[in-house]
């Protein structure tokens, strides 16, 4: 049995509305992921800076310890 033109139009209209809704949802999801991507990128940059700062602090402390150890050696040899 062949569908009437009116029922075909109604069915196509429903399919069109469903496709448009799916498209809007996909677009919303994409935007949400894009926001998360930007946030993660910013966090990664902040962590890189923090790691660099910590590496400098570690290097400084290693040098300070070495200098103090040399001072102890000097005090022992001069005592």
What pLDDT digit, counting tens, does each position of 8-44 carry? 999 999 999 999 999 999 999 999 999 999 999 999 9
**Cα 28 to Cα 34: distance, rounded to the nearest angstrom:** 10
CA 34, 36, 39, 44 torsion-angle sign:
negative
* Predicted TM-score of the model (pTM): 0.61
Percent of the chain topping pLDDT 90:
87
Average of per-residue pLDDT across 64-72: 96
What's residue 75's pLDDT?
A: 87
List, in order, residues 6 or more apart from 47 with CB less than 8 Å away.
none
What pLDDT digit, counting tens, does each position of 15-25 carry? 999 999 999 99
Q: Tokens 């040399």 label which residue?
A: 70
């Amino acid at each position: 049995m062949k569908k009437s033109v009116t029922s075909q139009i109604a069915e196509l209209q429903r399919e069109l509305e469903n496709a448009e809704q799916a498209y809007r949802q996909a677009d919303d999801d994409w935007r949400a992921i894009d926001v998360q991507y930007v946030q993660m990128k910013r966090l990664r940059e902040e962590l890189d800076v923090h790691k660099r700062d910590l590496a400098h602090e570690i290097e400084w402390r290693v040098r300070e310890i070495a200098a103090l150890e040399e001072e102890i050696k000097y005090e022992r040899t001069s005592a």
